[in-house]
Amino acid sequence: MKLDEITVSRAILSRFSQKLGDSLDLDVAIVGAGPSGLVASYYLAKANARVALFERKLSVGGGMWGGGMLFNEIVIQEEAKRIVDEFGISLQKFQEGYYTADSVEAVSTFCAAACRAGVRIFNGISVEDLMVRENSVAGLVINWTAVEMAGLHVDPLAVRAKFVVDATGHPAEVVQVFQRKNPVRFNTSSGKFVGERSLWAEEAEISTVENTGEIYPGLFIAGMAVNATRGGFRMGPIFGGMLLSGEKTAKLILDRMRLDKEKKN
Ligand code: 48H
């Protein structure tokens, strides 16, 4: 077969334009492809929602690659074992209620499952702002991470979405930028972004899941962004809460989509 460089270029441009073009009007836009964002996106796509995931870095997987302190094993507790099993990731029992997984197998499996379920993942793209309407969030404002890193003055593009999920981890970037730029009141204890507390694994794992939800019309929080936004504790390198939070996010949004559809009919 004769190879033509221009055909290779044309193939990439054509396919990427199609992929991004098909993602400009979504049911759900998720920001951050760590464990909570990946799991949320997977369950949403499996239920036929139109969902895309935007990740600043080239690598997808967030803080899961490095396990704890770069020892690339993660710990999963009993409550989240069924999710890891559903994805087919190998788990080893460490002692009663504690399981471990190879973090590389875990991340790569979550990514592959999300892609195969129909999630469109855009890496190298940063979310710099939100699109808003009167009293709700209406989508994302995106730009290349390379533009952000170079500090270039380049205007962004917009993505419309019925629901936006902040799954950006510790910084809860989407929530913070939204608060900085708008006179908003969140569904938190103070009505504002509260900030993450210190390490208390047991409490943190419970509250991460409990506090997962909608903090402003159209804006959901998942994973570590939940603790940061609502003033929860951190949990260290145990990942069950991140997976359960992702699963709960998908369930809450799917319930809302069903309700909204019923109301329309
Ligand atoms: C696009 C963005 C933007 C942006 C950030 O940190 P993550 O892994 O997030 P979670 O919440 O799924 O998982 C948290 C977990 O990894 C962790 O840190 C734990 C359990 N810590 C416990 C402790 O005590 O320390 O992933 C977030 C992703 C990253 O890949 C970022 O690059 C990305 O979001 N991101 N992507 N636009 N503005 N901000």
Give the pLDDT band of residue 265 (cuts 50, 70, 90). Answer: confident
User: In CATH, what number is assigned to the domain containing residue 223?
Assistant: 3.50.50.60
Please give the number of the atom of ligand 1 that sits closest to the Cα of 32: 34
Domain-located, residue 251: yes
Domain-located, residue 9: no
Residue type at 186?
A: F
Distance 5 CA to ligand 1 centre (A): 37
Residue nearest to atom 29 of ligand 1 (CA): 62
User: How large is the average pLDDT for residues 113-131?
Assistant: 98
Q: pLDDT value at position 173?
A: 98
Domain-located, residue 7: no
pLDDT tens-digit series, residues 6-40: 999 999 999 999 999 999 999 999 999 999 999 99
Q: How far apart are CA 118 and CA 127, in angstroms?
A: 21
Is the pLDDT assigned to residue 252 strictly greater than 90? yes
Residue 147, strand partner residues: none
User: How large is the average pLDDT for residues 171-197?
Assistant: 97
Domain-located, residue 222: yes
Domain-located, residue 14: no
Which residues does a 6 A CB cutoff place in the pocket of ligand 1?
31-37, 54-57, 62-64, 126-127, 167-170, 173, 223-225, 234-236, 239, 242
3-state secondary structure of 95: strand
Distance 58 CA to ligand 1 centre (A): 13
Q: Which domain holds residue 161?
A: 25-264
Phi, psi (degrees; rounded to nearest 5) at 17? -60, -40
Is the pLDDT assigned to residue 119 strictly greater than 90? yes
Residue nearest to atom 33 of ligand 1 (CA): 32
Domain-located, residue 137: yes
Q: In 3D, which of 203, 182, 202, 200 has the Cα closest to residue 192? A: 182
Q: Please, what's the b/e burial string for 182-209 (b: 16 or more CB within 10 A of its CB; e: otherwise)?
A: eebebebeeeebbebeeeebeebbbbbb
pLDDT tens-digit series, residues 64-117: 999 999 999 999 999 999 999 999 999 999 999 999 999 999 999 999 999 999
User: How large is the average pLDDT for residues 228-250?
Assistant: 98
Domain-located, residue 182: yes
Please give the number of the atom of ligand 1 that sits closest to the Cα of 241: 20
pTM exceeding 0.85: yes
Distance 8 CA to ligand 1 centre (A): 33
Q: What is the mean pLDDT of the chain?
A: 98
Domain-located, residue 200: yes
Q: How far apart are CA 202 and CA 186, in angstroms?
A: 26
Residue 109 burial (CB count, 10 A): 18
Please give the number of the atom of ligand 1 that sits closest to the Cα of 61: 30
Alpha helices in 132-185 (DSSP H): 145-150, 173-181
User: How large is the average pLDDT for residues 107-132?
Assistant: 98
Q: How far apart are CA 247 and CA 29, in angstroms?
A: 15
* Chain Cα centroid distance, residue 25: 18
Q: How many domains does the chain have?
A: 1
